[in-house]
Structure 1
Amino acid sequence: MAKSLVSIIVPCYKQAHLLDETLNSVMQQTYKNWECVIVNDGSPDHTEEVALEWCKKDKRFSYVSKKNGGLPAARNTGVKKTSGKFILPLDSDDILHEQYIEKLLPYFDDPTIGIVTSYRFFFVKSKTNIIKIYKPNGDNYRNLMFENQLMPSSIYKKECWVEVGGYDESMIKGFEDWEFWLNITKRGWLYHTVEEPLFYYRKAKESMLIDTHRNHAETNKKYIFWKHKELYIKHFDNFFEVMFYNLNVHRKAELQIKNSLEYKIGKALLIPFKVFKKLFKFVMNMTIKSNLKSI
């Protein structure tokens, strides 16, 4: 695998101000046999200007622009333009360790491995400001059924993308990478984790992932469970246990909130407003009745 071409896909949408740092981490890779496709997903900022400057710097960079269609469609567009045996999706605000490709690629010598990932840093603003390290575990689909262990920028064999038909373009509200990994591994492919933090994930106050967890998590999970229901039926006992465990966790969290001092104070403060609302409704009804009698 030492000489194999690695195709890096960088979808861009409203991240032009961070794109230079991301593409510089590509340029600094110690593994040199790569190509990088920058996909402008209809971004309204100066993404095109930044991308074209990098294409001038190094012929390994290329650029494609498309109408906005969401992250999975942008990734698929990029993959279709590639020639490499391996695919590395890279979001336009994240950063690769300079040895990322060099240290992950050798594990594909095992023909059962379809995906290779690593430990990753979470950082705020600067990659020197590390707030935590995430360490994936497991190696097969059973480890992915209820939680996404793999980061979106794991490296995978292009034949896996072909086998599953690419990313599910209907999943524009997130978790498309989770569904993609599950779709690959349920076919028998394994994944491997390099036990070193070789990737920098930018933690932002507002991001697509935050919006997904805040507003679309349950809907997306339901979609994944239904799409791959044969897995959850096969492991129904485990599925049953996990679902009721989650219900219990949510119930305890709800009770904890209701028993908190803040909740009780807030509820007490609302009492005058509730009384006023009832009084206002009563007065309005009496006024209407009075008006009707006078007609």
Structure 2
Amino acid sequence: MSAKSNVTVIIPCYNDGLYIMQALNSVLKQTVKADKIIIVDDGSNQETKKVLENIKNDEVTIIYQENQGVCKARNNAIQLAKTDYILNLDADDYFEPTFLEKAIDILNHNQEIAVVGCLVKTLTNNRIDREIKKPLGGVVKDFIVKNNGIASSLFRKQCWEQVSGYDENMKNGYEDWEFWIAILKHNWKMHIIQEPLYTYRMKLYSRDKNAKENFDYDLRKYIFFKHIEVYKEHFEFYATELLRQNSIMKSIKNANNSIEYKIGNRILGFIKLFKINGK
């Protein structure tokens, strides 16, 4: 590979033998080649291991670990990277060929930008959905209510070092959301390329879906307290936005029984208590 890109691609893989080759090929076919690709097998099943063992490419390094989660997998791989830029890619998703070329150019010419993502296509039952997901990116204030980025983005390794890597306590999800807040609160920005250059695969079971359905409140609370100074600085914005979202949910038929509405009420109750106690 050409060393000019200054990029290492990190692909954690856990039981994604059906999809890993599509993800890998989307990196190999980039118009600007990465310096190195590191696949981390996070304790996958034998079917996936067989797929990985058949990858014979000098541009690809495969490391194996017992199942320790995506944060540990990413941190272990990023530690090995010798480039200034890191690109995350989930093993069941893929990029369009021009993503790296466009993202590298943005980081090279904008020193205030730490992270570059893009608009997102979704793949459901092997069909591309019509709706395009449009994360906003921006500054840390834009991330305190919801994640306005995507996990598979290009970022500066110095930012990973600055925040001591991914938080390995976040085993149940939302680790990328917390990672972006940790970076952006140091006065960095995230840029979103206004093209759908990334495809996210919707599956019947996914870590993202499990996080939202089973751990949403606890994960949000963890992020809140870990970055409490950010939430204090933007408290009125945060509380007002939660009130607005809860009001919208209340106006929707049967919303009072939805998970989102119940979680929203729990968070608002917590916010009110936080404000009253003056913490």
User: TM-score normalised by the shorter chain: which range applies?
Assistant: 0.7 to 0.9
2:266 paired residue number: none
1:41 paired residue number: 42
Of all paired residues, the percent bearing the same amino acid is: 32
2:192 paired residue number: 193
User: What is the TM-score normalised by the length of structure 1?
Assistant: 0.81
Residues 169 and 95 (structure 1), Cα distance of their counterparts in 2 relative to 1, 3 Å cut: same
Could you tell me whether the CA contact under 8 Å between 1:11 and 1:38 is conserved in 2?
yes
1:19 paired residue number: 20
Could you tell me whether the CA contact under 8 Å between 1:7 and 1:34 is conserved in 2?
yes
How far has the Cα of 1:52 moved from its partner? Answer: 2.9
1:122 paired residue number: 122
How far has the Cα of 1:250 moved from its partner? Answer: 4.9
How do 1:169-180 and structure 2 match up within 5 A? 169-180=168-179
SS in 1 for 2:144: coil
Structure whose CA Rg is larger: 1
User: What is the TM-score normalised by the length of structure 2?
Assistant: 0.86
SS in 2 for 1:220: helix
Task: Could you tell me which runs of 5 or more consecutive residues in structure 2 were left unpaired when the two chains were aligned.
Answer: 258-279
SS in 2 for 1:242: helix
Residues 24 and 235 (structure 1), Cα distance of their counterparts in 2 relative to 1, 3 Å cut: same
1:81 paired residue number: 80
How do 1:173-252 and structure 2 match up within 5 A? 173-252=172-251
Residues 121 and 234 (structure 1), Cα distance of their counterparts in 2 relative to 1, 3 Å cut: same
1:274 paired residue number: none
Residues 20 and 141 (structure 1), Cα distance of their counterparts in 2 relative to 1, 3 Å cut: same
How far has the Cα of 1:251 moved from its partner? Answer: 4.6
The 10-residue stretch of structure 1 (232-241 or 129-138) with the greater mean CA deviation from structure 2: 129-138
Could you tell me whether the CA contact under 8 Å between 2:5 and 2:32 is conserved in 1?
no
Task: Could you tell me which runs of 5 or more consecutive residues in structure 1 were left unpaired when the two chains were aligned.
Answer: 259-295
Could you tell me whether the CA contact under 8 Å between 1:9 and 1:90 is conserved in 2?
yes
Provide the rounded CA distance (Å) in 2 between the counterparts of 1:255 and 1:130: 27
SS in 2 for 1:7: strand
SS in 2 for 1:133: coil
SS in 1 for 2:4: coil
Provide the rounded CA distance (Å) in 2 between the counterparts of 1:88 and 1:243: 32
Deviation track 1:257-282 (CA, whole Å, cap 9, x = no partner) reads 67xxxxxxxxxxxxxxxxxxxxxxxx
Provide the rounded CA distance (Å) in 2 between the counterparts of 1:46 and 1:5: 33
Provide the rounded CA distance (Å) in 2 between the counterparts of 1:233 and 1:65: 41
Residues 185 and 153 (structure 1), Cα distance of their counterparts in 2 relative to 1, 3 Å cut: same
Could you tell me whether the CA contact under 8 Å between 2:139 and 2:188 is conserved in 1?
yes
The count of residues paired between Structure 1 and Structure 2 equals 254
RMSD: 1.8
Residues 249 and 191 (structure 1), Cα distance of their counterparts in 2 relative to 1, 3 Å cut: same
Structure 2 residue 5 is the aligned partner of structure 1 residue 4:
yes
